[in-house]
């Protein structure tokens, strides 16, 4: 079962920052939050991940609340090519195994 909930969809204007929310209220202390995106008919593309601290890379920033129950992915200057389904994911480790547990994701549409 997915451990994250996201809005079904969101729109954003081109050039503006896109703030994508995610709730993961049942996350355990050692479980990382990952963000991926998927464009139709392609495999998911890695964006960023974090545990407790905020993270930034060339694609995005990840803001994780202090209680770790929610996070926000920030695309600082959205472009039309950022239109995709975005997945907020918890990495689960159990009994020597590990996996990413996906939810249904959120469709982001960047409008001109």
Partner 1 sequence: DTGVSQNPRHKITKRGQNVTFRCDPISEHNRLYWYRQTLGQGPEFLTYFQNEAQLEKSRLLSDRFSAERPKGSFSTLEIQRTEQGDSAMYLCASSLNRGSYGYTFGSGTRLTVV
Q: Is 95 in the site for partner 1 (CB under 8 A)?
A: yes
**Residue whose CB is less far from partner 1, 49 or 68:** 49
The verdict on 11 binding partner 1 (CB under 8 A) reads: no
- Which of residues 63, 74, 101, 109 is near partner 1 by CB under 8 A? 101
With binding defined as CB under 8 A, does residue 86 bind partner 1? Answer: no
Tokens of 1: 């079962």
Q: Which of 28, 45, 54, 65 binds partner 1 (CB under 8 A)?
A: 45
How far is it, in rounded angstroms, from Cα 34 to Cα 32?
6
The answer to whether 24 and 65 are in contact (CB under 8 A) is no
* Sheet (strand 70-75) strand order: 18-23, 70-75, 61-64, 55-56
Question: Shortest CA distance to 57 belongs to which of 32, 74, 80, 69?
Answer: 74
Query: Which residues of this chain interact with partner 1, rule CB under 8 A?
Result: 2, 32, 34, 36, 41-46, 49, 87, 91, 93, 95-105
């Amino acid at each position: 079962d997915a451990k994250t909930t996201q809005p079904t969809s969101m729109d954003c204007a081109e050039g503006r920052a896109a703030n994508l929310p995610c709730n993961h209220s049942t996350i355990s202390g050692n479980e990382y939050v990952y963000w991926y995106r998927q464009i139709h008919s392609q495999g998911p593309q890695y964006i960023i991940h974090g545990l407790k601290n905020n993270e930034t890379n060339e694609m995005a920033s990840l803001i994780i609340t202090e209680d770790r129950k929610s996070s926000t992915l920030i695309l600082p200057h959205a472009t039309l090519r950022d239109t995709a389904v975005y997945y907020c994911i918890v990495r689960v480790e159990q009994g020597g195994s590990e996996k990413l547990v996906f939810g249904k994701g959120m469709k982001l549409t960047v409008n001109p």
